[in-house]
Amino acid sequence: MVLNCPLCNSGSVASIESVKVSELAELYSQMLGRSIIEEFSGHNEFGFFLCGGCDLRFFHPAVTGSEGFYESLQKFDWYYLEDKDEYEFARRYVPENSCVLEIGCGKGAFAKKIDTGNYTGLEFSSKAREMGESAGIRILNETVQAHAVKNAGRYDVVCSFQVLEHIADVSAFLGSSIECLAPGGRYIISVPSADSFISSATNATLNLPPHHVTHWSDKSLCSIASIFDLKMVELYHDKLADIHSRWYSITMAQQMLNAIFRKKKKLIDLSFSSRVLTRLAGILVDHHLAGKQKKGSLPRGHSVTVVYRKPIRK
């Protein structure tokens, strides 16, 4: 089988690991309290690959979640957070009264952070759109590919927060997003960072299909600029958020224990030994590591945000 990278189309793709759908389904069942086996479209296994050209890590086949799947995640208060470090960073690149397009806007949390009377949000979930519209935020249930057809070059700022990693056809998504952007405009992307602690986490349910189908390193984000002829303005890693501090500490403790017991790290590990080491890691964190980190020396957090600029053609 010839497999090309979904970002740069390179054929220089190496297999990292494979995951069984039965194990994926078990993880999601534990989290959601119900089976989502129908989300996997009859597949038995997913491969996890690395592109040698642009450094993108991706799952194949790229099976993404349905609207019903995402609505089941909205029962968790933390799924649509109102305050994120990436919002505070990004708002500095949104001049007052800019024409703004946010793709995958949820219920419009970022719209409330910026001073513009010309905001449009695109959102997959009809329930999220209804919540946003009840607060007076303009949200459309429309793909960016469809939106770009009638809105080419319209927006001063195009942004997406924690969206790109959910997209199967990343090239089409990025191309259409940039098409909506006016020359000289800013394109802002925030994604979970493959250069952070989350890449060391085992059984990180929401970093797996059908939720996340791509993993983005700094190198792969830099590749976007060269592939789509953009200028990179700034790349920013957030600091570890309180909501992720215990996850971070347990992941680091598990990494230490895996090294001691010479246990290979896997994306999914439901074995008895893994459960024992996870529990032991939790005990170590609770009794020895909790509260040890000072605010000024926090490690990299969950996400990375990049600002690009679309060139002005003479």
Residues 191, 254, single domain; the answer is no
Residue 91 sits in the same domain as residue 226: yes
Q: What is the pLDDT of residue 290?
A: 46
Count structural domains, the chain: 2
Are 176 and 143 in the same domain?
A: yes
Q: Does a structural domain hold residue 40?
A: no
Q: Is residue 18 part of a domain?
A: no
Asked if the model's pLDDT at residue 272 lies above 90, the reply is yes
Question: Over 80: is that where the pLDDT of 294 sits?
Answer: no
Using DSSP's 3-state secondary structure scheme, residue 236 falls into strand
Q: How would you label 266-304 residue by residue, b for 16+ Cβ within 10 Å and e otherwise?
A: ebbbeeeebeebbeebeebbeeebeeeeeeeeeebbbbb
What is the average pLDDT value for the chain, to the nearest integer?
93
Containing domain of residue 249, as a range? 243-296
Read off the pLDDT band of 291 (50, 70, 90).
very low
pTM (predicted TM-score): 0.93
Residue 71 lies in a domain: no
| Closest CA relative to residue 282, chosen from 302, 259, 252, 260 | 252
> pLDDT tens, 20-73?
999 999 999 999 999 999 999 999 999 999 999 999 999 999 999 998 998 888
- Report d(CA 72, CA 67) in Å as an integer: 9
Q: Which residues of 226-244 are buried (b: 16+ CB within 10 A; e: fewer)?
A: ebbebeeeeeebbebbeeb
User: Is the pLDDT at 297 greater than 80, yes or no?
Assistant: no
Per-residue pLDDT tens over the stretch 153-196? 999 999 999 999 999 999 999 999 999 999 999 999 999 999 99
230 CB-near residues (< 8 Å, 6+ apart) = 178, 187, 224, 308, 309, 310, 311
In a domain, 2, yes or no: no
Residue 285 is given by DSSP the state I
